[in-house]
């Protein structure tokens, strides 16, 4: 039950309903979550890039930035040590760090007992599969694999062959409507729905200089590449988008190389990005400019 204090009082870390699997503590309080899980998340910043960047965005842009529902967070603790973490920004998927099948089952049982309604899960492949199966056992809701993703880390940046005509520039206020429209088109193209209001997203990226446009010599924007907030020494490249009628001309590769170069120059330790594994073009492109695989993630829908 949410008492309005920000803490989910249905959770009790002193009583473990699944002995031997550790205790899941759930909360709606972002500060409490970061106090408990911050060091754990920062211990493996590449694998934890999504919770790190999402919680940083919630901290700086407000708790409703991803939707009207109250975000929920959780940590798995065993012998006083954090072993895993989760977050969810309704109406979006549960995001879960790597856990054992036993811990996935304990979490699924806990959330089912609390009457949570989940649209799906996003996690590393084994964890996503384990939680999806546990959710089916405890709720009867089967899962469907929605998307296979691969996380890449930039090694040595390499120019993507001959650059297309034109050049890069940082998006400014005059580009707001273009960014808003391209954000919606990008969200639709990746099939994961719009996770932020497009106008709010455009305003935030313009204010932070977080979007680079590739322009043709006549000044026509033909592609964009962006970077998220710097947190725990890492930056993630996202989104990368080229409208369909401008594709296969090298614009996305040029824009991605440009933002990757800028991120490296800013002094970050790691530059990361996700791809859809069912898109061989983008996977090939990123590897040609120096990105190397780190881990695979799956998104499951609960039907």
Report the pLDDT averaged over residues 40-50: 98
Report the pLDDT averaged over residues 234-263: 96
In this predicted structure, what is the pLDDT of residue 196? 83
Report the pLDDT averaged over residues 263-270: 96
pTM score: 0.90
In this predicted structure, what is the pLDDT of residue 68? 87
Distances (CA, A) of 256 to 25, 78, 168, 227: 39, 41, 10, 10
pLDDT tens, position by position, 179-229: 999 999 998 888 765 578 899 999 999 999 999 999 999 999 999 999 999
Please state the length of the chain. 303
In this predicted structure, what is the pLDDT of residue 192? 61
| Nearest by Cα to 302 from 132, 48, 134 | 132
Cα dihedral 39/43/44/46 (nearest 10): 70
In this predicted structure, what is the pLDDT of residue 104? 98
In this predicted structure, what is the pLDDT of residue 10? 43
| Nearest by Cα to 121 from 134, 110, 109 | 134
Report the pLDDT averaged over residues 227-244: 96
In this predicted structure, what is the pLDDT of residue 190? 82
pLDDT at 9 over 70: no
pLDDT tens, position by position, 10-31: 443 333 444 445 699 999 999 9
How confident is the prediction for the chain on average, in pLDDT?
91
């Amino acid at each position: 039950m949410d008492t309005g204090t920000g803490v989910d009082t249905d959770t009790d870390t002193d009583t473990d309903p699944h002995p031997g699997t550790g205790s899941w503590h759930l909360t709606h309080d972002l500060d409490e979550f970061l106090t408990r899980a911050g060091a754990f998340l920062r211990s493996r910043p590449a694998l934890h890039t999504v919770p790190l960047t999402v919680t940083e965005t919630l901290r700086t842009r407000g708790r409703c930035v991803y939707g009207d529902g109250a975000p929920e967070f959780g940590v798995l603790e065993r012998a006083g040590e954090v072993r895993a973490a989760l977050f969810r920004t309704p109406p979006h998927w549960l995001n879960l760090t790597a856990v054992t099948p036993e811990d996935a089952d304990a979490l699924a049982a806990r959330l089912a007992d609390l009457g949570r309604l989940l649209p799906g899960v996003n996690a590393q492949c084994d964890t996503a599969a384990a939680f999806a199966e546990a959710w089916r056992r405890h709720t009867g809701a089967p899962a469907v694999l929605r998307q296979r993703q691969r996380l890449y880390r930039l090694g040595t940046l390499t120019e993507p062959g001959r650059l297309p005509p034109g050049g890069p520039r940082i998006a400014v206020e005059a580009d707001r409507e273009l960014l808003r429209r391209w954000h919606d088109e990008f969200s639709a193209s990746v099939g994961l729905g719009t996770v932020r209001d497009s106008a709010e997203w455009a305003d935030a990226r313009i204010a932070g200089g977080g979007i680079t446009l590739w322009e043709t010599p006549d000044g026509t924007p033909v592609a964009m590449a962006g970077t998220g907030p710097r947190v725990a020494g890492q930056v993630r490249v996202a989104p990368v988008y080229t409208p369909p009628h401008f594709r296969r001309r090298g614009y996305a590769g040029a824009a991605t190389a440009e933002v990757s170069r800028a991120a490296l120059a800013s002094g970050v330790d790691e530059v990361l990005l996700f791809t859809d594994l069912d898109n061989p073009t983008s996977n090939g492109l990123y590897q040609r400019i120096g990105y190397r695989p780190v881990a695979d993630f799956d998104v499951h829908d609960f039907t």
